[in-house]
Structure 1
């Protein structure tokens, strides 16, 4: 859930004087968002595009993991190009696109939530798939297939899109009189903000966070038991070492991606729960920091892939060599 304190402070049809004009933004916000969010958007989009190209290169595209990682990259591109870019325009240039028309109001409000929730649940599916691969390797060979992965990704996108749709049917543009007699428009929900926030909190954080933690704990326990068994009974050469190394890399990659999601998303969600108990000035600063941190989760995956997988780095270099050669 994006903490939306800087989008409106409207309740029961009344407008808070603080939000009656777009000139109330703290002076540090344009600098903060321009300095930190700009590179996240630019490098995040470029990195995710490169990730898609690498994951669909050669033999990689026939693996289940590549399907999930490609879908995750597409979802992250949508988050950065739509939600993060709109946030950047509002905080840096004070341009709020969703207030210009009813179409933009509905489309941007919907895209503010849905792509990042889809991104979170694709990571959940990848974590579940990896947990099955570690805990039930023989059964996973039958169920964890690329074509099944595509079906699961389609179901995740369809179900989440439908789940959020009712909240945005009655979204509308409202006209208000601000200070000095100026009239302005504001895009807002007809549902109470708490209804959407609680639902989004469960779908974006509580559900994915719980499943990801459970999967990773089970994976780590299994790895510890295997190491202890090898230590007690001696080295066993079951399977090809190259394949085992690849599986370890994939498992480590999913664990690191999951931990990154938790570290980037959890502070903002905890902030939303305890927001009313914080000092108002300190609360605004925390909101901005956690908001940027949330988008970092969508822009940092390419760097993690390069750090964790020598095969990914090798394929990336070869891709550029091939392009230079042509």
Structure 2
């Protein structure tokens, strides 16, 4: 009997243990549901923050960016800067920045507010939109590389700069960059199209991309885009900026040692500082997007859905920060470029010229001094040929950009 009770009591104990296990499982599922709910709430909060950033930020970027870039173009088209090579580079940069603002900021704002996708309406629109967007992103980066290299020539080889750094040369450089980038991005016209996903059409790589371009095309395309838009320009601009800043510091020390009161910064130095600040700001503001692109290529990082969601949110914020770069150039020119500030003030005050076009204040001072000395010293009159003093002419050639 005791043995029977023991035998009968065993199933009861086992059933209780089973019920306890089921309760434990139920509690675990409940905890899992709570965890999933919390994660979902975090995702919703991140999505709301991203939407608010673009809803309120995009109109501000468009308004301030458009006004700023129009002012940049207006100043650089004045007679003083119109014939300079760097003026052509910065004018082209301002036009590209304006186009990028309307292609990305306006497009993101329309998607969030009105649920309108410009690139997803037609196949032709998809291909053209993708090509122009990639082309402009690459073109802006390499314009700044060209400007940085030109400043290197101006500062380290000032005599050759008169021959090399001309507006005609700038046109050839810009045309060559545009031609190369057109060839690099030409594949977009047959690798991108409207792709169906869950009943909707999105502008993305075609479904048979592996058969059309090879199994490794996506990885090659992402690395190529990353290198052209970010990595290689970063290396060029950082190296050029370090070289320029080093030479400017050395020149400033030599100038201070040669004069007791310290000489005024030359026009070339002022423009170099302005362009260095522009390229440095570009590197800083576009670096987050480059980091997100590198992380997206890492399979270990993107193996979990949580990392993918966080990366998407970070990339969207980084893209917004990148758009700020298209607005800041005007303020950087005003802050660091004395010649630009002077010409802007002259334009806003409706003055035709802000002094002698293409000639720095230092040249004007030397011209007056040389003319006065010649008038008081008849021995210098034989240096005058065709109505122009050689001292004045040499000063003009030395200071003119």
TM-score interval, smaller chain:
0.7 to 0.9
Aligned to 1:298: 326
Residue 286 of structure 1 pairs with residue 314 of structure 2: yes
Residue 166 of structure 1 pairs with residue 187 of structure 2: yes
Aligned to 1:20: none
Superposed displacement of residue 103, structure 1? 1.3
The TM-score with structure 1 as length reference comes to 0.81
RMSD of the TM alignment (CA)?
2.5
Q: Secondary structure at the match of 2:134?
A: helix
Residue 187 of structure 1 pairs with residue 207 of structure 2: no
Aligned to 1:132: 153
Deviations 1:166-194 (A, max 9, x none): 13323222334x2xxxx322221134543
101-110 or 310-319, larger mean C-alpha shift: 310-319
Aligned to 2:346: 318
Q: Secondary structure at the match of 2:194?
A: strand
Given that 2:273 and 2:337 are in contact with CA atoms closer than 8 Å, whether structure 1 keeps it comes out as no
2:129 counterpart (96, 100, 108): 108
Superposed displacement of residue 110, structure 1? 1.2
Q: Secondary structure at the match of 1:88?
A: helix
Separation in 1 of the partners of 2:222 and 2:86? 32
Give 5+ residue unaligned stretches, structure 1: 1-22
Matches within 5 A, 1:1-326: 26-176=47-197, 178=198, 183-190=199-206, 191=209, 192-230=217-255, 234-235=258-259, 245-275=266-296, 277=301, 279-322=307-350
Superposed displacement of residue 245, structure 1? 2.1
Separation in 2 of the partners of 1:71 and 1:138? 26
Superposed displacement of residue 228, structure 1? 4.2
99-108 or 282-291, larger mean C-alpha shift: 282-291
Separation in 2 of the partners of 1:77 and 1:45? 6
Separation in 2 of the partners of 1:236 and 1:173? 69
- Higher relative CO (Cα under 8 Å, sequence separation at least 6) belongs to 1
The TM-score with structure 2 as length reference comes to 0.67
Separation in 1 of the partners of 2:174 and 2:108? 27
Change in Cα spacing, 1:40 to 1:259, as seen in structure 2 (3 Å) is: same
Given that 1:102 and 1:173 are in contact with CA atoms closer than 8 Å, whether structure 2 keeps it comes out as yes
Deviations 1:61-118 (A, max 9, x none): 0112111111111111111122332233224433212111011111111122111210
